[in-house]
Amino acid sequence: MTSGNSTAQAGLLAGKVAIVTGSGQGVGRALAEGLARAGAAVVVNDIGVTLHGEVENASAADEAASAIVKAGGKAVGNRDSVSDPAGAARIVQQALDSFGRIDIVVNNAGILRDAIFHRMATEEWQAVLAVHLNGSFNVSRAAAAHFRKQESGAFVHMTSTAGLVGNFGQANYMAAKLGIVGLSRAIALDLQRFNVRSNCIAPFAWSRMVSSIPTETEADKVRVAALKQMTPDKIAPMAVFLVSDAAKDISGQIFAVRNNEVFLMSQPRPVRSLHHAGGWTAEALAHELPGAFKSSLTPLERSADVFSWDPV
């Protein structure tokens, strides 16, 4: 389905205060700018590192915040690390000190440590989970007490089709991104009685986070060329909508945004069943299960296999 003019979102977030992690550049910056255009005051959080975690531009957060202010919005920069619970608490406190409240958290911060699984080092595993999954927990937990007290609030967490579907050489990233889905669902369930919502977005956009995709085959080159057409600003309208009061009845869901397409993603539910009145033995399962379940088994696909058509 098509959507209306993007100017229709203007003012949806008037009076609200948002935190966007990892928003010094790329998708995060587009999200921060989109929320600001919709009327939110924004804490732009970014420690200014490369995809692999090395310091690259420590001023990224301040520069992005300054650009928002120059464009007529309200923003402040923040350089605390989301992987540190104390840092996460400072991010939330800065929102309170600067703008008097906190209404929105967008968990976007992330790094990559790609490696084929049998060569993945423990440090590579832990580093990615520390930022993506632990970071999302840390900032969400720091904001949750305030959301509960004011009986309102909205979370958006960036997941990925790498986690929802699959990809080569990204066991750490896939585990973190699928873990974020579970975290979001838990928040939605636990905090629904306080009018707090939590949803996920899997973004398709050309950014640093996808620029490491290998282009060894012709198919990979075509895929990357298509990704380069999908700019980060295409993701912002969905985030603005989900954290606005217009989405007050939407929580615990997973969406994907791919250029001009918006998808509601499925979540695990029973697909097929087998019943044996006397209980199962391994031998009985070996005889019955493969044939009964074969047509319903989920194939070992990558995101590109599932989203195989050109973006529109």
Annotated catalytic residue: which of 137, 155, 173, 241?
Answer: 173
Between helix 60-70 and helix 26-37 the angle, nearest 10°, is 30
Q: Residue 22: which of 68, 60, 56 has the closest Cα?
A: 60
* 3-class secondary structure, 232: helix
**Helix %, strand %, coil % of the chain (to 5):** 45, 15, 40
- Known catalytic membership, residue 173: yes
Q: Which residues pair with 201 in a beta bridge?
A: 158, 255
Residue with tokens 């088994």, as numbered in its chain: 297
Q: Where are the beta strands (DSSP E) in 65-114?
A: 74-78, 104-107
Instruction: Mention every residue, 6+ apart, whose C-beta is less than 8 A from residue 156.
Output: 104, 105, 106, 107, 198, 199, 200, 201, 239, 242, 243
197 φ, ψ (degrees, to nearest 5): -115, 155
Q: Which residues are catalytic?
A: 173
